[in-house]
């Protein structure tokens, strides 16, 4: 993940708030105690899938690992958005909704040319709009080719992923309900 000194501290705070030990949380997530300790100290960097597992074990959305929810925020300034991106990863996720306690979550997904996101399945529904580039969205076993301005709506309980088709990067804005990322 990009260096975020707050990430490890937030995970540690959430873990201790729930009365979990390093060993207990690591066991729930399926990682080693030493790796989790490294994450909490900011010297190990988890993949997005590990972050999703940590968040699920702590019963919080992934973005809450990066920041505490703000009390009454309605506006998110461009330079204040939270971003999840692993070094060299083909995809980044940017939270554009104000917090994770609402009924909907908005994210921008950025994909490098020809690369795809990991397949995910989670509770709820999702609507995605292609802002830039050409994208193939796979829902279950079906591929949907989308151009700039095209949108897709699907049950996010089905495994789904996005791929930037062609030689150009792609951007997608997605609305997810309930907040799950």
What's the whole-model pTM score? 0.70
The number of folded domains in the chain is: 2
In this structure, is residue 70 part of a structural domain? no
pLDDT in tens, 91-127: 888 989 887 777 899 999 999 998 888 888 989 999 9
Burial class (CB in 10 A: 0-12, 13-18, 19+), 75: exposed
Do residues 60 and 96 both lie within one domain?
Answer: no
Do residues 92 and 167 both lie within one domain?
Answer: yes
């Amino acid at each position: 993940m990009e260096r975020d000194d707050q990430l490890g501290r937030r995970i540690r705070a959430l873990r201790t708030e729930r009365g979990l030990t390093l060993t207990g949380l690591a066991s729930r997530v399926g990682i080693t105690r030493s790796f989790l300790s490294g994450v909490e100290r900011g010297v190990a960097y988890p993949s997005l899938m590990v972050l999703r597992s940590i968040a699920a074990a702590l019963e919080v959305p992934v973005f809450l690992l990066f920041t505490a929810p703000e009390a009454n925020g309605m506006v998110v300034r461009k330079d204040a958005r939270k971003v999840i991106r692993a070094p060299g990863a083909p995809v980044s996720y940017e939270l554009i909704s104000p917090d994770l306690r609402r009924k909907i979550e908005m994210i921008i997904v950025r994909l490098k040319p020809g690369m795809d996101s990991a397949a995910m399945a989670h509770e709820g529904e999702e609507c995605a709009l292609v802002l830039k580039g050409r994208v193939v969205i796979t829902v279950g076993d079906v591929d949907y080719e989308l151009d700039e301005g095209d949108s897709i709506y699907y049950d996010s309980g089905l495994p789904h992923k996005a791929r930037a088709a062609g030689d150009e990067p792609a951007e997608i804005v997605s609305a997810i309900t309930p907040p799950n990322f």
